[in-house]
């Protein structure tokens, strides 16, 4: 009876972790809709740095209100700073390279390369780092989801094969950086609460990103619409979203956590249809259906792998 109750609890934790990460992906999907109301005039580097600065303030305010002891000298001495700083550097790199890569290529190809390669990077890193190779069914499921993403991307945007090589490189680096962040976060949340670890990671990421943005793009000039969008990106699409991700990644494999981010374009398309009134064609919608099927198979592969692990 105890074993059955334990297995049920573990299954619920895996299911809950998946739900939290999918919730984060939905919030990430609001980015495009938010910018459609107020297109950003800021440099792409400052877009990435600013959302980290806002999210850092958001997280620090949160822990000051909910867990003030996390800011005391005694607690700070016990923090796993090598992991925190590594995750922060990965997050700062991801933000700077993603927005710069998208502007250098296009929204479609930039997002496809960054999002599409991140699960592949995560699977490789998980195999190297944790000596845990994702199952064959996981790779098949990811491949199906990626094929749907490619169909949607190439059907929705006029993308030239001769897109910026530097832009593609930046998007590849952003995918790798995001995968590294996920693996580091999974390690962190076993040592520090998700709220505290995310607060320090994003605060340090902002410290890394701001000087880099200044060096690459000079002094930022904000207008009112920029400020409104950056606040949304920082608090909702970054702060709350990554808090959900950090809580969820504890209960699923890091590779699956990254792969579930492929729900972001589905959320973005649905929001564009509902909020903005966009009407994608048959081919893009077909691609989204394929992505959805791939995501369902990823979830199934994750739960099956977790079930197998419990039996060993």
Chain segment 209-218, per-residue pLDDT in tens: 889 888 888 8
d(CA 93, CA 86): 11
**C-alpha span between 224 and 42 (Å, rounded):** 11
| CB atoms closer than 10 angstroms to residue 68 | 10
Tokens of 80: 């796993």
Token output for 142: 């990811």
Chain segment 173-188, per-residue pLDDT in tens: 999 999 999 999 999 9
Euclidean distance between CA atoms 218 and 211, whole angstroms? 9
Phi-psi region of 144 (alpha: psi -120 to 50; beta: other; left: phi over 0): alpha
Rounded to 10 deg, the angle between the 107-129 and 165-188 helix axes is 40
As to burial, measured by CB atoms within 10 angstroms (0-12 exposed, 13-18 middle, 19+ buried), residue 71 is middle
List the chain residues with pLDDT less than 70: 1-11, 32, 35-40, 106-108, 154-163, 306-312
pLDDT tens digits, one per residue of 284-308:
788 888 999 999 999 888 888 766 6
Query: What is the distance between the alpha carbons of residues 30 and 36, in angstroms, rounded to a whole number?
Result: 10
């Amino acid at each position: 009876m105890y074993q059955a109750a334990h297995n049920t609890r573990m299954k619920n934790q895996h299911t809950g972790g998946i739900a939290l990460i999918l919730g984060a992906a939905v919030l990430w999907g609001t980015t495009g809709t938010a910018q459609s109301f107020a297109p950003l005039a800021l440099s792409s580097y400052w877009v990435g740095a600013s959302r980290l600065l806002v999210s850092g303030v958001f997280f620090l305010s949160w822990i000051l209100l909910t867990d003030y002891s996390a800011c005391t000298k005694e607690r700070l001495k016990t923090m796993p700073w090598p992991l925190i700083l590594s995750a922060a550097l990965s997050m700062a790199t991801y933000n700077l390279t993603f927005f710069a890569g998208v502007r250098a290529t296009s929204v479609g190809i930039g997002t496809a390369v960054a999002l599409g390669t991140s699960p592949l990077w995560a699977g490789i890193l998980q195999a190297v780092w944790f000596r845990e190779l994702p199952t064959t069914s996981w790779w098949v499921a990811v491949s199906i989801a990626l094929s749907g993403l490619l169909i949607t991307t190439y059907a929705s945007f006029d993308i030239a094969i001769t897109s910026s090589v530097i832009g593609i490189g930046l998007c590849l680096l952003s995918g790798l950086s995001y995968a590294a962040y996920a693996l580091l976060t999974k390690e962190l949340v076993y040592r520090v609460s998700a709220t505290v670890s995310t607060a320090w990671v994003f605060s340090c990421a902002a410290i890394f990103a701001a000087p880099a943005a200044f060096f690459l793009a000079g002094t930022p000039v904000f207008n009112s619409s920029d400020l409104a969008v950056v606040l949304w990106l920082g608090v909702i699409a970054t702060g709350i979203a990554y808090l959900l991700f950090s809580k969820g990644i504890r209960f699923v494999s890091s590779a699956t956590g990254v792969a579930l981010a492929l729900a972001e374009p589905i959320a973005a398309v649905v929001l564009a249809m509902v909020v903005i009134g966009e009407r994608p064609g048959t081919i893009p919608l077909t691609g989204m259906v394929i992505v959805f099927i791939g995501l369902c198979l990823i979830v199934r592969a994750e739960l099956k792998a977790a079930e197998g692990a419990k039996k060993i």
